[in-house]
Chain A
């Protein structure tokens, strides 16, 4: 029997992807709208570029899962190097890899084990890359451990969307774990809730009341916070506390231990001190595996349409049995990222800032009353507080070309408007 043409370039492809092809060779009861079984969908799956953001606990699982699910052009980005404490769960790394770049080691490991899969690593920060880089991917999967990095990724991908070009709409699949808890979610820019829409749902770092840590400590954590929040800045007003510097942790440990003894509290250890300072929640390998599997499955569904993707958030709790619940997170109308209205305005470079504001006030589609305008770097005109208003008032009579560059983005907020407006100002 002749092999289908698409797989001829991949030796043993039919055997390798046999289980995946079961979902793609014929229609099934769960297929999503637009699914067409056959060679084209397989070829599409093998050809699209997918980006994995993060090569840590989740990232290792994701890379393995995606590579075994038929994605053959995978990119991975991570700024970290391998630490000995990663080895228990980040299974693509060995003791001899300690100190090397996670993205690079993970990529070569997967390529060695799964022939026919290409993984392109980038060892560096997500902020190093621009829209051109992110625009080459069809799907973006995040396995990140910080709220800050997630917010950046989310805002970057959502801002990239250009309604004139459907290719700029990139689904984001976001996985996250915290001990025995985890979640996976799908973000379709401007269509479903984005990360920023649900920012208030994110667990925030554990903090204790200032007066408790100052006066009535009861827990070892209170003593550590006392040392890090109150004693460190008093002793070293100009030195930033670094949770990765053993000298710093040692100093905190000494102080916290003395205080703990004084209050008859036990349990202040080096690892707890570092844990409190860096807000570490112990990572559980099985949580990573479950969340990554869910993310990879959703990527497979989005890429092939062989089943309807979940809508749109799955939470997992694994410390008392196994519990999952999937529900729809609602888009927030006043979300500063996906709720922002984007408009393009053409003005003469000799027009003043006041002219631009008048132009905005005249528009019936956006009902502005007292707009404040800023670029990412400068306050153009702020209605309040008074000091900012006074400082920026002289800008009103200045030419726009003195204040902004052609094509620069200006953010407009207004008391009477819950959302913000992003204007791209083009000079005529």
Chain B
């Protein structure tokens, strides 16, 4: 008993040791297990010590968005996995489920998030948005309307926007570089 007290006091004199939080442990597990990431996705870390902030690049290998390189930022907060990460597309792209500010309409990023889901679930969800853009959950209403009514025109719009062209007066980011 008294021994323990001494030990604790002794340690208390030094600088307080930051503790590893449950969010950190969980995120370390999520990331450390992701060694089978498909070649279409790449994660990068501006600071390797900061696992709470990272970037995702998606290069779809089929579908409307084939050939483009799409970038997202992930901000995970200390309440993970109680709260989902905040995910934003950093380019202005023409997509029914992503608005011009980069907000993404993906159910598991908001209303359907559960702590059993993980970073990989979000990557799968985002990848799917590029393979199967969904006209029923529009964030870019105009793009969704075109997708619903005229798939050929939608395809042309996507192709033009991806080269940095403009659609309906809006200029998009060149994602072919």
Residues on A facing B (Cβ under 8 Å): 130-132, 135, 147-148, 151-152, 155-156, 159, 162, 164-165, 167-168, 196, 199-200, 202, 204-205, 207-211, 214-215, 229-230, 233-234, 336-337, 340, 370, 372, 374-379, 382-388, 391-392, 407-409, 411, 413-415, 420, 422
Closest to B26 in A: A336
Contact assessment for A336 and B82 in the assembled complex, using a CB-CB cutoff below 8 Å: no
Q: B75 on the interface (CB 8 Å rule)?
A: no
Contact assessment for A132 and B9 in the assembled complex, using a CB-CB cutoff below 8 Å: yes
Closest to B134 in A: A211
Contact assessment for B33 and A152 in the assembled complex, using a CB-CB cutoff below 8 Å: no
Q: B169 on the interface (CB 8 Å rule)?
A: no
Measured between beta carbons, the chain A residues less than 8 angstroms from B138 are: 211, 214-215
Contact assessment for B103 and A230 in the assembled complex, using a CB-CB cutoff below 8 Å: yes
Sampled A-B contacts (29; CB under 8 Å): A132-B8, A147-B82, A148-B82, A151-B23, A155-B19, A167-B4, A196-B22, A199-B81, A200-B115, A208-B111, A211-B105, A214-B139, A234-B101, A336-B26, A337-B25, A376-B20, A376-B21, A376-B24, A382-B32, A383-B35, A384-B32, A384-B35, A385-B31, A385-B35, A387-B45, A388-B51, A408-B17, A413-B25, A420-B29
Contact assessment for A384 and B34 in the assembled complex, using a CB-CB cutoff below 8 Å: yes
Q: How far is the CB of B72 from chain A (nearest CB, A)?
A: 14
Number of interface residues of B (CB under 8 A): 56
- B99 contacts which of A130, A214, A422 (Cβ < 8 Å)? A214
Measured between beta carbons, the chain A residues less than 8 angstroms from B152 are: none
Q: How far is the CB of B91 from chain A (nearest CB, A)?
A: 16
Residues on B facing A (Cβ under 8 Å): 1, 4, 8-9, 11-12, 16-26, 28-29, 31-35, 37, 42-45, 48-49, 51, 78-79, 81-83, 97, 99, 101, 103-107, 109-111, 113-116, 137-139, 141
State the CA gap A379–B31 with chains docked (Å).
Answer: 11
State the CA gap A346–B103 with chains docked (Å).
Answer: 49
Contact assessment for A215 and B139 in the assembled complex, using a CB-CB cutoff below 8 Å: yes
Closest to B29 in A: A413
Measured between beta carbons, the chain B residues less than 8 angstroms from A370 are: 32, 35
Contact assessment for B28 and A391 in the assembled complex, using a CB-CB cutoff below 8 Å: no
State the CA gap A202–B83 with chains docked (Å).
Answer: 11
Measured between beta carbons, the chain B residues less than 8 angstroms from A379 are: 48-49, 51
Contact assessment for A385 and B34 in the assembled complex, using a CB-CB cutoff below 8 Å: yes
Q: How far is the CB of A318 from chain B (nearest CB, A)?
A: 25
Measured between beta carbons, the chain A residues less than 8 angstroms from B99 are: 214, 230
Contact assessment for A202 and B82 in the assembled complex, using a CB-CB cutoff below 8 Å: yes
State the CA gap A168–B4 with chains docked (Å).
Answer: 9
Contact assessment for B31 and A204 in the assembled complex, using a CB-CB cutoff below 8 Å: no
Q: How far is the CB of B70 from chain A (nearest CB, A)?
A: 17
Q: How far is the CB of B47 from chain A (nearest CB, A)?
A: 9
Contact assessment for A199 and B32 in the assembled complex, using a CB-CB cutoff below 8 Å: no
Q: How far is the CB of A190 from chain B (nearest CB, A)?
A: 15
State the CA gap A230–B98 with chains docked (Å).
Answer: 12
Measured between beta carbons, the chain B residues less than 8 angstroms from A130 are: 12, 16
- Known A386-B35, A415-B35; further 12 A-B contacts with Cβ < 8 A: A132-B9, A165-B4, A199-B82, A207-B110, A211-B138, A215-B138, A337-B22, A374-B24, A376-B21, A383-B32, A383-B35, A388-B48
Q: Is the interface of A mostly helix, strand, loop or mixed?
A: mixed
Measured between beta carbons, the chain B residues less than 8 angstroms from A202 are: 82
State the CA gap A209–B103 with chains docked (Å).
Answer: 12
State the CA gap A72–B125 with chains docked (Å).
Answer: 55
State the CA gap A234–B92 with chains docked (Å).
Answer: 13
State the CA gap A413–B9 with chains docked (Å).
Answer: 30
Contact assessment for B22 and A151 in the assembled complex, using a CB-CB cutoff below 8 Å: yes
- A162 contacts which of B4, B16, B25, B113 (Cβ < 8 Å)? B4
Closest to B24 in A: A376
**Interface centre among A152, A233, A414, A420, by most B CB within 10 Å?**
A420
State the CA gap A71–B43 with chains docked (Å).
Answer: 54
- B33 contacts which of A211, A408, A415 (Cβ < 8 Å)? A415
- A336 contacts which of B25, B49, B113 (Cβ < 8 Å)? B25
Measured between beta carbons, the chain A residues less than 8 angstroms from B26 are: 336
Q: Closest 8 CB pairs between A and B?
A: A372-B32, A384-B35, A391-B48, A210-B105, A385-B43, A376-B20, A336-B25, A413-B29
State the CA gap A163–B109 with chains docked (Å).
Answer: 40
**Interface centre among B23, B28, B81, by most A CB within 10 Å?**
B28
Measured between beta carbons, the chain A residues less than 8 angstroms from B51 are: 374, 379, 388
State the CA gap A229–B86 with chains docked (Å).
Answer: 11
State the CA gap A414–B82 with chains docked (Å).
Answer: 22
State the CA gap A386–B109 with chains docked (Å).
Answer: 24
